[in-house]
Amino acid sequence: METVSGLTKSGYRNNKTEFVNRTPKIPFFLNLGLRIIGLFLHVKLRVASRFPYMEAYKTLRKILRQNEFTSYGRAHHFSEVLQSDTPGELFMSYQRAVRPNDYEKLRPLVERQKSGERDVLLTGSPIMYATTSGTTGKPKWIPISRSYLHTLYHRMSEHWLYIFVRQRPRAFGGHILQIVGKDVEGYAPDGTIYGSVSGMLVKEIPHILRKRYTAPAEVMNISDSQTRNYVIMTLALQWEDLTFWATANPSTIVELLNTVDERLEQMADDIEKGVFSVEIEPRLLDIIAPYLHSNPKRANHLRELKKRYATISPKDYFPYLQVLSTWKCGNAKIYIEKFIDRFNWRQTLYTELGYIATECRFGHPINSSSESVLFPQYHYYEFVDEQELDMPNKHFLQLSELEHGRRYCVYITTNCGLYRYNMNDIVEVGGRYINTPTVHFISKVNGIVSLTGEKLYEAQFIRAVHQVAEMYNMSVPFFVGFANAETSAYDFYFEFGGKSEKQGEQMLDLLTREVDAKLQQINIEYESKRNSMRLKEPTGHILQPNAYTRFKELCLKDGFRDGQFKFNLLMQDAYRQGLFNQIVKG
Helix (H) or strand (E) holding 186: strand 186-187
Instruction: Determine the pLDDT at residue 558.
Output: 65
Ranges of beta strands (E only) in 235-389 are 242-247, 323-326, 349-352, 355-356, 361-364, 372-374, 380-385
Instruction: Determine the pLDDT at residue 161.
Output: 93
Instruction: Determine the pLDDT at residue 420.
Output: 97
Instruction: Determine the pLDDT at residue 559.
Output: 59
pLDDT in tens, the chain (586 residues): 333 223 333 333 344 444 444 678 899 999 999 999 999 999 999 999 999 999 999 999 999 999 999 999 999 999 999 999 999 999 999 999 999 999 999 999 999 999 999 999 999 999 999 887 655 457 789 999 988 888 888 899 999 999 999 999 999 999 999 988 777 888 999 999 998 888 777 777 777 888 899 999 889 888 888 899 999 999 999 999 999 999 988 888 988 999 999 999 999 999 999 999 999 999 999 999 999 999 999 999 999 999 998 889 999 999 999 999 998 987 677 778 889 999 999 999 999 999 988 898 999 999 878 899 999 999 999 999 998 987 888 999 999 999 999 999 999 999 999 999 999 899 999 999 999 999 999 877 867 787 876 778 888 899 999 999 999 999 898 999 999 888 889 999 999 976 677 788 889 999 999 999 999 998 887 887 888 777 899 999 999 988 888 888 887 776 565 555 567 889 888 888 988 899 998 7
Instruction: Determine the pLDDT at residue 11.
Output: 35
3-class DSSP state of 419 = coil
Per-residue b/e over 470-495, b at no fewer than 16 CB within 10 Å?
A: eeeebebbbbbbbbbeeeebbbbbbb
Burial of 58 (0-12, 13-18, 19+ CB in 10 A): middle
Instruction: Determine the pLDDT at residue 4.
Output: 28
Q: Hey, where are the domains in the chain?
A: 3-19+169-182+201-352, 29-146, 358-446, 450-581
pTM, full prediction: 0.79
